[in-house]
Structure formats: structure tokens, C-alpha cells
Amino acid sequence: MEFFLWVLAGAGVLFVLVGVWIGIYFWLNPDVKDPDGKACVTGSCGDTMEICLKFRDNRVEKTSTWTNGCAYSFNCLHAAADMAKGRNPDELLHIDADRIQHSVGSLPQDYLHCAKLAEDTLMAALDDYMRKQIPKQG
């Protein structure tokens, strides 16, 4: 019986820690309101990634991300968003799957597609931003 209580207490502490981590994460990384570029892409693996970009003076000022994927997808998407901050559209074109993979350390062979999905999502958000700029220039 005592062992069961220790297991229950440990599970409770873990639940609280995860809740606090999620709360802090979302407090420090709020959603981007009225994004200038946004994309939601679902890969062949079934993972969906979403990224929102807010530009200021033609540079990415803020990003927000969401994924329903695994930890590798989460890490790749956040690496892509972090690398995008402070860059202009031409510089964003240089953020590819290899750079994302390098940024997260390394990925198992079975999860290399996560970096490619993050790249595709970032490029689709950039494309959305660029399409919105065409009428403003003319």
C-alpha cells in the first residue's frame, strides 16, 4: 500500500510539473495576432505543423508555432521558427532541412522527414507573406 501511495504522489508531482512547464511555455510564446504570413502543412507521416510570421521592417519580428506531431516535429518546427527571427525574406530561403537538422543536434534516420516538414511549413508561410506583398507594391 505504501508503494502505491509513493507512485501516486510521484505521478501527481509529474502532472503538476508538466502543467507548469506548459503554462510557462505558452506565456513566453504567445500566438501571433494577425500574422503577415501563415501556413499549416500536413506531412505524409500525418504530423501537422503550423507557423505564423509577423514582419516588421521586412524582417521576422515574431513567430508562433503549433504541431500535433512527435517531439522531433516539435523540435524541428521550433528550430525553424527560432532561425527565422530577425531575418528578411531572402535570408529565410536559406533555412532548409539540413540547417534545421543541424540546429536540433541530430535526428534518427526515421525522423529526418520532420526537418523537411518544418522547412516546407516555413517556406509556405513565407510564400503567404510574399503573396500578400504583391498588391501593396503595385
Cell of 27: 506565456
What is the value of pTM for the model shown? 0.78
For the chain, residues with pLDDT lower than 70 are 21-30, 136-138
Burial of residue 133, with CB atoms counted within 10 A of its CB: 0-12 exposed, 13-18 middle, 19 or more buried:
middle
- For residue range 12-34, list pLDDT tens digits in order: 888 788 777 666 666 666 677 89
